[in-house]
Amino acid sequence: MIAALRKELLLQWRSRAQFLAVFVFGAASLLLFSFAVGPNARALRTFSAGFLWLGLLLSSTLTLAESFHAEMENRALEGLLLLPSDPRALYYGKAIANWLQLTLLGFALVPVMVVLYDAGTLELARLAVIIALGAAGLSAPGTLYAAMTSQVKAKQTLLPLLLFPLIVPALLASVKATSLAILGDPMAQSRSWMALLAAFDLIYWSLCGLLYGRVVEE
């Protein structure tokens, strides 16, 4: 798995321009969301967490699909499987790399959110944990579905179609927890949302790892 992760990180480093482009895309969508609400500072601040996660979700479909581009152009993934490599190791290598990338993207979008929506928080450590947990919830099923959709014709449509309904609980919990971090948490609910996120992550990180071999192998 270390070998797979090292390869993924090297590939991501080579395509760092892509990361920058996705960040700009995410930031632009945050800007556009504020036009949907109008110049209402209070409403923007209330919805800021939702916008942040929607921005991250939209960006994730780009990075997840991109992570399989290098595997599919010369069928390098098949080459690795035939060596042989354990599909589970390949899955976790890629899922962890995608998770790191999404977490980084989430961190990068926070200052944009703070500036645009006046939605600052001093609980940075908690916010970081929430973003990491939420990104993990996106990347585990996202990596598996991207592996499927990268092999079919309608990949751009199919990935969000499969992924979005599935990650509803992760999105909901991430938005709630982030929102509580920004707007204050008088009833101390954020811990239970983070627990829900952690449970979602646990289930999908194990389930998708088990099923990945069935998706990439014939």
Q: Which residue has the tokens 């990338």?
A: 101
Q: How many residues bind other proteins (CB under 8 A)?
A: 55
Residue 62 near other proteins by CB under 8 A: no
Residue of 205, 146, 145, 144 lying closest to 170 (CA atoms) = 205
Q: Minimal distance in Å, beta carbon 115 to other proteins?
A: 28
Instruction: For residue 194, state whether it binds other proteins (rule: CB under 8 A).
Output: no
Instruction: Please report whether residue 3 would count as binding other proteins according to CB under 8 A.
Output: yes
Other CB atoms within a 10 A radius of the CB of residue 26 amount to 25
159: nearest Cα among 137, 142, 138 = 142
DSSP of 1-56, one letter per residue?
Answer: -HHHHHHHHHHHHHTHHHHHHHHHHHHHHHHHHHHHH-S-HHHHHHHHHHHHHHHH
Which residues, in sequence order, are CB contacts of 161 under 8 Å at separation 6+? none
| List 22, 80, 127, 181, residue binding other proteins (CB under 8 A) | 80
**Residues contacting residue 70 through CB under 8 Å, at least 6 positions apart:** 11, 15, 76
Residue 40 vs 192, nearer CB to other proteins:
192
Q: Does residue 22 bind other proteins (CB under 8 A)?
A: no
Q: How far is the CB of 112 from other proteins (least distance, A)?
A: 26
Find the binder of other proteins among 83, 125, 187, 188 (CB under 8 A).
83
**Interface with other proteins (CB under 8 A):** 2-4, 6-7, 10-11, 14-15, 70, 73-76, 78-85, 141, 144-145, 148-149, 152-154, 157-158, 161-162, 164-166, 168-169, 172-173, 176, 192-193, 196, 199-200, 203-204, 207-208, 211, 214-215, 218
